[in-house]
Amino acid sequence: MRTIDYSIEPPVVEQNPSLSSINESIAKPLETKPTKGWYIAISISLTMLLIGAVSLGWTFYKGVGVWGVNQPVGWGFDIVNFVFWVGIGHAGTLISAILFLLRQRWRTSIARFAEAMTIFAVMCAGIFPAIHTGRPWLDGYLFPYPNQHALWVNFTSPLLWDVFAVSTYFTVSLVFWYIGLIPDLAALRDRTTNKIKKVVYSILSLGWRHSNRHWQHYEMAYLILAGFATPLVLSVHTIVSFDFAVSIMPGWHTTIFPPYFVAGAVFSGFAMVQNVLIIIRKVFKIEHIITLDTLEKMNKVMLATGMMVGYAYGMEFFIAWYSGNPIEQFVFLNRALGPYAWSYWIMVSCNVLFTQLFWFRKIRRSIPVMFVIAVLVNVGMWFERFVIVVTSLSRDYLPSSWGMYIPTIYDFGILIGSFGLFFTLIFLFIRTLPVVSIAEVKAVLPNSQPSHGGHN
Amino acid sequence: MSSEFKIPEKKNISSKTKFLAFGLFGLGLLLSIIAFVVDSHRALANYNVIFTFLVSIAVGNLFWFAIEYLSGAVWSTVMRRVNEIFISFIPVVFVIGLLVLFNTHSIFHWAHEEAVKNDKLLQWKSPYLNEQFFTIRYFIYFLLWILFAYLVLKNSLKQDDVKDQIYSYKNSKISALFLPIFAITLTFFSIDFLMSTEPHWFSTIFGVYYFAGTALSSIAIVTLAVILLHEKGYFGDILKSDHFYNLGALLFAFINFWAYIAFSQFLLIWYANLPEETFWMIHRWEKGWEIFSFILIFGHFLIPYFSLLSQQAKSNLGRLKFMSIWILVMHYVDLYWLVMPSLYKEVVFGWIELSFVLLGIGITLLVFVFRFERIKNIIPVGDPKLKRSLEFHL
Amino acid sequence: MENKPLYSVAATFDDVNKLIKAVDKVNEAGYTIYDVHSPYPIHGMPKAMKLKPSKLGFVTLIFGLSGAIFAFLFMYWVNVIDYPLIVGGKPFYQLPAYIPVMFEVTVLSASVFTIVWMLFIMFKFPNLSHPLLDTDYMKKVSVDRYGISIQAKDELFDLVKVKEFLKELGAEEVFEIYFKVDELKDKPKIFDKKFISFLALTTVIVSGITYFILNHLLFMSPFNWMHEQFRVDPQTTTTVFKDNFGMRNPVAGTVARGHLPYPFKGNPADAEKFLVNPLIPTKQVLELGKQKYLTFCSPCHGNFGEGDSRLRGQFPNPPTLHSDKLRNMKDGGIYHIITDGQNVMPSYASQITEEERWAIVHYIRVLQRSLNPKESDLR
C-alpha cells in the first residue's frame, strides 16, 4: 500500500524551476520558428475546416434541406453539435473560476489553456444556432433591438435565453481570459526584441507595470469575475437544458436536466482539456509545469462527473417507471432497446462504464490509457446529446408521425468543420500567446510567497 | 504535534449547558407526547419532518467529512472533530426513525390499502411503495451510513493516539467509496420519506434538491457549533478569521446552489404546465401555504444571499452565527414545506409544530453534549494535515 | 532635482521576504508615494503597504443591480406594454420566465463594467507613456526581481537620501527613473486635427456599417429558392407551348366558371327590367351582404348608406342610398350599378362575386327600410 505524505503541501510545479526559467519555457514557442509537426497539424485542421466551409456553403446555397432533418426530427446534428461544443467550453471556466474559488492551486498551470479552449469551443458552438435557421443573414433578429417591423423577440422562450446566455458567456470568458493575459503580455513586452511584437504586446498589455497597487485591485477583480463566472457557467448549460426541459416532449421534460447537463458539460470539457494538454506538454516540453499530478486530478474530476451523469441516467429511468406515465416509460425503453439503442449503449459505456477505470491509480497516471478514455468520453458525450435529441423526436406521442433520422454527408461535413475550426484556433493560439499563465505559475512556486510572519 | 501552536486543553461542557440540553429535551418530549395524544396524525407528520432534518445534519456531515479527505482540504482539519460529533448522530437518528417506520400508515397515503385499491397509479407504484420494501430500504440506508460512519470515525480517533498517516490514507479510500453510495442512498431516502408523502407526484431532481438542503444545513450547524465553541474558548486562539471565511464561503455557495436547484425544479414544472406535476406546486401556492413558499424564496435565498455577499460578512462571527441559525430554521421550513402540504389542505402551524422543533433542538443538544464528553481531543491531534491546517491562510 | 524631470528612484530585490521587510521600513520612514513592483501578486503585500481594501466590489454591485433592474423593466415594457403577445397560454407578465435573461444581463453588466472601471478609470489605462515602462527596472521586475519605487513627488523625497536608504535595505540595484521629456511636452488636445478626423472617420464607418446591416444586410436573401418556383408567371414566355405564349386563351366555345359575360353592359334600363334577384333574404344572405357592404361599399357610401364617406374628401362623396330614386329602383338596377359602375363609381365585378352582389342588394334594402319603414314594419 502506498502512502502519501499529508503533512506537506504537494507542489504544483515539479523540479523547482526558477522564476526566469518560467518565462523562458513558456515564451519559447512564441519566439521560435514552428516545427514541421505544427505545420502538419495545422494543415490537417485547416483541411477539416475547409470541409466544413464547403458543407456550410452548400447548406446556405440549397437550404437546410440538404441536412438529414425531417418532419418529426426537426433538430438533428445542428443542436447536437451546439450542445456538445457549449459543453466542451464549460471546463475552461470551471477550471479558471470554480477551482480558483476553491483555491485548488493545481489549476494555475492549466487555467489559461482551458480558458482559451472555452472561447474557441463557444465560437464553434455559436455557429450552429446561427446556421440552423437556414437563413443566417437574418440572425440579427435574434437580438432585441427596435426594428422597423415594431416586433420584439419573445423573452420567454428558452431559445432566446440561449442567445443571451451564450453571448454573455462568450463575452465574460473573453474578458476573463484577457484580464489574465494582461500581466503576461506585459512580461512578453518587456522581453521581446522584435519591434512589431513589441508594439503589439504594448498595446495589448495597456501599459501594465506590475504595480502592487494594481495587483491588489486586479486580484479583487479576478475574484469577482470568478465569482460571477461560476454561476454563469452553471446558468449557460442550465439554459441549454431548458431548451429541452421546458417542453413537454417525453424524455426531455425531466426536472433533473439542469444539473445533469452541467455535470455532463464539465465532464466532456475536462476530457477535451486533458486530451489537448497531453499533447501540448509533450510537444513544448513543459511536463514539469503541467504535471502528471495535475492530469491525475483531472481524471478524478472526470470520474466524479462521469458518475454524476450516470446518476442522472439512472434517475431518469427510475422516475420514468415511478411516474406511472406510459409515454415517459416508453421513451426510456425505446432509448435502450429501440432503433437507436446502439447510440444509447455507446453513450452509457463511454460515459459511465469506461470512466470507472479511473478508480485505479495506475490507470489515472498512465498517459496513453487516460488519453484513450478521455477520447471515448467525448464520443460518449456527443452521443448523449444525440440520444436525447433524436430518440425523443423520432418516437414521440403519436405513432402515426414517427420517423427516423439519418444524417447526410453535409451534417458530417459541418461536424468535421467545427472540429477543424476548434483545432485551427488552438494551433494559432499556442503560437501567438502564452499557453500557461506566467504570473499565476510564478505565484505558486515554492519560496515565491513570503514565509508567514506577521502579514496575513 | 506542532510546537509553534498551542493546542488547547479540552474543557468539559459547563453544567449549565447540560442542564439546558436536558431541559429542552425534556420539555420537547413532554409537549410532543401531549401532541401525540391530541392529534397523533399531525404529530407524526411533524415527527417525520424533524427526523428528516436530523438525517440532513448527521449524514450531511458524513458527506463533508468525505469531501475533506477527497479534496485534500486542510483548513477544515482543525475543526473536523465537530464534524465527527455530528456524524456520530447517525445511530441515534436511526432509532428516532423507527417510530416513523412503525407508523407509515398515518404519514404515507400509499400505505393505506383501501386507497391503493382505488388508485391505478398507486397500484403501479406498489412494487416500490409498500411497507415491506420501505422497511428493508430503511435498514439498508442506515446500515450503510452507520457502517461508513463507524469506519471513518474509528480511523480518525485512532490517529489521535497512533499518529500514523496510514489512517488518513484509509479514510481517503473509504470516503471515495462512500460518495457514490451517499448519492444513491440519500436520493432514495428523500424519495421515500419526503417525496412519497405525495405519492402521485414525481420529480427527477428531488434527490438533488434534498441534497442541497442537506449540504447547506450540515455546514450551517458545523459553523454554528464551531463559533459557539470558539467563543467559549474551547478552541483557544487557533481559529483564524480565514477559517471562518471558508465556512462563510461554503454557506454562501450552498445558499446559491439550493436556490439554483429549487428554481430549476420550479421553472421546469411551471413552464411545461403539465397537470401531473403542477398540482404539487399549485397546492403549495394556495390556502395559506403560499406564506411558506414566500418564506422560502426570501428566507432561504434572498436574505441570506445578501447578508453573506460581501467578503467581510463571510468572516464576521456575529453575522455567521446568526445566519447559520437562520439557515437551520430555513431548512426546517423547507422540509416542513415538502411534507405538510401533502397531508393538509390548509395551512397548519401551531404549538404542535413548535414542540417538535423544541424536541429536535433538545435531541441535537443532548447528543452533542454526550458525544462531546466522550471524545478525548477537540482537535484531531494526530492528523498529519493539522499543522498545515493551523497555518492556513487565504 | 528641480528642472530634471525625475519620476522616482527604484530598487530591485532578489528575495520576497527581503522585499516585505523593505516595504515595512519604507513605511516606517514615512514615505507615502511609492509603489512596489513584482512579477506576480504577493500575499500580504496590500497589508504591508497599508493599502485600503479594494472598493471594486461596490462597482460590481451597482452595475450588477442596475443590469438586473434594466433587464426586468425592459422585458416588462416589451411583454406587457409595447408588444403584448400570448405565448403558450402564459400571462403577459411572467416573472419566472424573466429570471434567466435578468440573470445573464446582471452578470454581463457587472463583470464587464467592473473590468472597464478597473482598467480605464482606476488604473487610467491605456497608458503607454508611463516613465516606468521600457526601463531596465521594469524588465527586471517583470521576470524575477521585486522592486520598490519611491516617487519624487513624495514630501520626504531627497535623491541622495533615498538612494542610500534603499541600498541600506539590501537592494540589489538602484535605478533613477526619469520622465520621457518628449512625451511630457506632448499634451493631447481635444481639438487636435488628427483626433478630430479620427473621430469623424470612426463615426462615418460605424454609422455606415450600422446602416448597411439594419437596412440592407437584414433584407438580403442570397439564396432563397422559395422565391423561384416551377410555374409560369403572367406576361412571360414558356417553352411548353409552340407559340411560346405563357398566357393561353380559353378553349373555343367555353366559359370559365363564374365568368359568364354580362349582357347588359352600358344598358342600365334593360338590366333593371330583366334581372331578378335570385336570393331570398335569409339571415345568412343578409349577414353576407352586410359583410360585403361594410368591406366594399361603406368607405364611400357610409356604414348606413347615408353617403357619409370616410375618405375625408379624397374622393367625391356619393349621394345617399335613401333617396326616393334608389328606393324605388328595382333590384336589377342596383345590381347593375355594382357590376358596371356609374359616374365616378367603378365596376366591382372583379372584386365581388355575383352572389355577393345580390346579397348586397338585399342588405341595401334593409338599410333603406330601416330609415323609411313601411306601415307593416311599424306594427
Q: Helix/strand/coil (H, E, C) string of C241-288?
A: CCCCECCCCCCCCCCCCCCCCCCCCCCHHHHHHHCCCCCCCCHHHHHH
Domain ranges of chain C: 1-187, 268-378
Low-confidence ranges of chain B (pLDDT < 70): 1-6, 394
CA distance linking residue B214 with residue C291, whole number of Å: 68
CA distance linking residue B394 with residue A40, whole number of Å: 45
Question: Cβ contact (<8 Å) for C41 and A215?
Answer: yes
Going by pLDDT thresholds of 50, 70 and 90, the confidence category of residue A455 is: very low
B/C interface, count of CB pairs below 8 Å: 15
DSSP 8-state class, residue B256: H
- CA atoms B244, B248, B249, B254: torsion sign: positive
Domain contains B63: yes
CATH number, domain C268-378, options 3.60.150.10, 3.30.470.10, 3.40.190.10, 1.10.760.10 = 1.10.760.10
Which residues does chain B have within 8 Å of residue C86's beta carbon, measured at their own beta carbons?
none
Residue A74: all three cell numbers together? 426537426
The count of residues in chain C is 379
A 10 A CB-CB count for A191 gives 18
CA distance linking residue A32 with residue A161, whole number of Å: 44
Residue A389: all three cell numbers together? 435529441
The predicted-structure confidence for C27-81, as pLDDT tens digits, reads as follows: 888 888 888 888 888 888 888 888 888 888 888 999 999 999 999 999 999 988 8
Residue A295 has pLDDT above 80, yes or no: yes
Closest residue to A439, CB basis, from C39, C107, C132:
C39
CA distance linking residue A452 with residue B19, whole number of Å: 43
Going by pLDDT thresholds of 50, 70 and 90, the confidence category of residue C222 is: low
CA distance linking residue B390 with residue B388, whole number of Å: 5
Going by pLDDT thresholds of 50, 70 and 90, the confidence category of residue C225 is: low
Residue C328: all three cell numbers together? 324605388
Sort C194 into a burial class: Cβ within 10 Å, 0-12 / 13-18 / 19+.
exposed
How many domains, in total, are found in chain B? 1
Backbone angles phi, psi at A210, to 5 degrees: 55, 25
Question: A157 vs chain C: nearest CA distance in angstroms?
Answer: 8
A-interface mutation test, from C143, C224, C229, most A Cβ less than 10 A away: C143
Tell me the mean pLDDT in the region A359-367.
88
- DSSP secondary structure string, C337-374? HHHH-BTTB---TTTS-HHHHHHHHHHHHHHHHHHS--
Residue B29: all three cell numbers together? 418530549
A199 in contact with C, Cβ within 8 Å: no
Query: Among A279-293, B19-33, B376-390, C174-188, which is the least confidently predicted range?
Result: C174-188
* β-sheet with C34-37: strand ranges across: C34-37, C146-151, C6-13, C173-178
The predicted-structure confidence for A372-381, as pLDDT tens digits, reads as follows: 999 999 999 9
Closest residue to A156, CB basis, from C48, C87, C125:
C87
CA distance linking residue C66 with residue C105, whole number of Å: 9
Where are any strands of DSSP class E within B36-189? none
Closest residue to C57, CB basis, from B266, B267, B310:
B310
A228 in contact with C, Cβ within 8 Å: yes
| Subunit partners of chain C (3 or more CB pairs within 8 A) | A, B
Residue A112 has pLDDT above 70, yes or no: yes
- The H-or-E segment that residue C179 falls in is none
Mean pLDDT of chain A: 87
Question: B270 vs chain C: nearest CA distance in angstroms?
Answer: 8
| pLDDT in the model for residue C197 | 93
How many Cα atoms are found within 13 Å in the side-chain-facing hemisphere of A72? 18
CA distances (Å), A145 to each of A128, A153, A158, in order?
A: 22, 9, 18
Tell me the mean pLDDT in the region A270-299.
85
Closest residue to C41, CB basis, from A62, A172, A219:
A219
- The H-or-E segment that residue C176 falls in is strand C173-178
Kindly calculate the radius of gyration of chain C based on its CA atoms and give it in whole angstroms.
44
CATH number, domain A19-443, options 1.10.1200.10, 1.10.3720.10, 1.20.1530.20, 1.20.1630.10 = 1.20.1630.10
CA distance linking residue C272 with residue C267, whole number of Å: 9
Q: What percent of chain A has pLDDT over 70?
A: 98
What type of residue is B106? S
Instruction: Say if CB A265 and CB A86 are below 8 A apart.
Output: yes
A 10 A CB-CB count for C133 gives 18
Sort B394 into a burial class: Cβ within 10 Å, 0-12 / 13-18 / 19+.
middle
The predicted-structure confidence for B98-129, as pLDDT tens digits, reads as follows: 888 888 887 888 888 888 888 888 888 888 88
Domain ranges of chain A: 19-443
Question: Cβ contact (<8 Å) for C47 and A455?
Answer: yes
| pLDDT in the model for residue B53 | 92
Which residues does chain B have within 8 Å of residue C57's beta carbon, measured at their own beta carbons?
310-311
| Residue B81 structural domain | 15-246+349-390
Closest residue to C143, CB basis, from A23, A157, A235:
A23
| pLDDT in the model for residue B4 | 54
A 10 A CB-CB count for A284 gives 17
Residue C1 has pLDDT above 50, yes or no: no
